[in-house]
């Protein structure tokens, strides 16, 4: 009886997660305001190169080439990643959605080409409280792929 109750409760939680919480609502303020990406929320499911708090801070991406070429290369890296979808691609700003494989949770990743050679980055979960380091890990994976030379001179 006890196992049956536990299994039923687990099934309900999974169903709720998949149906009601999976995608989440798009962020209220994606984009750039006064030259900055949105600040991270109070929950520990966001990292940003513009954050002041050490636990949310991550280094921006860096490049040496021409901005247009490096932006195209960053888009190439992002388009080559699983479950990534470009939502907005402006000359100085990119917004990408990443969807988790199992429950379809959505993380919003934003890039802002600021001063020459610097790309500010923010990655945040739409739902939940804790992300188990997924956003930080994703940004570091993007950094590694972006900073790896690809045949072209840099």
Kindly indicate the confidence band of residue 62, based on its pLDDT and cuts at 50, 70 and 90: very high
Q: Say what the pLDDT of residue 34 is.
A: 86
Q: Which two tokens stand for residue 107?
A: 């993380």
Q: Say what the pLDDT of residue 150 is.
A: 63
**Domains of the chain, start order:** 2-147 (3.30.310.80)
Task: List, for residues 13-34, the tens digit of each pLDDT value.
Answer: 433 343 334 455 555 456 888 8
Lowest mean pLDDT among 30-39, 72-81, 102-111: 30-39
Which helix (DSSP H) or strand (DSSP E) does residue 52 occupy? Answer: none
Q: Which two tokens stand for residue 146?
A: 């972006």
Mean pLDDT of 33-53: 94
Question: Are residues 49 and 58 in contact, defined by beta-carbon separation less than 8 angstroms?
Answer: yes
Rounded to whole angstroms, how far apart are CA atoms 94 and 19? 28
């Amino acid at each position: 009886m006890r196992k049956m109750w536990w299994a039923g409760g687990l099934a309900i939680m999974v169903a709720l997660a998949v149906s009601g919480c999976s995608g989440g609502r798009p962020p209220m303020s994606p984009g750039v305001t006064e030259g900055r990406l949105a600040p991270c929320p109070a929950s520990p499911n966001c990292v940003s190169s513009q954050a002041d708090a050490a636990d949310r801070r991550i280094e921006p991406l860096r490049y040496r080439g021409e901005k247009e070429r490096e932006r195209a290369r960053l888009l190439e890296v992002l388009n080559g990643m699983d479950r990534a979808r470009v939502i907005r691609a402006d000359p100085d700003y990119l917004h990408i959605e990443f969807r988790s494989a199992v429950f379809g949770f959505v993380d919003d990743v934003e890039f802002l080409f600021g001063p020459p050679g610097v790309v500010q980055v923010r990655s945040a979960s739409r739902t939940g409280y804790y992300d188990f380091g997924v956003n930080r890990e994703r940004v570091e994976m993007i950094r590694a792929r972006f900073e790896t030379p690809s045949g072209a001179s840099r």
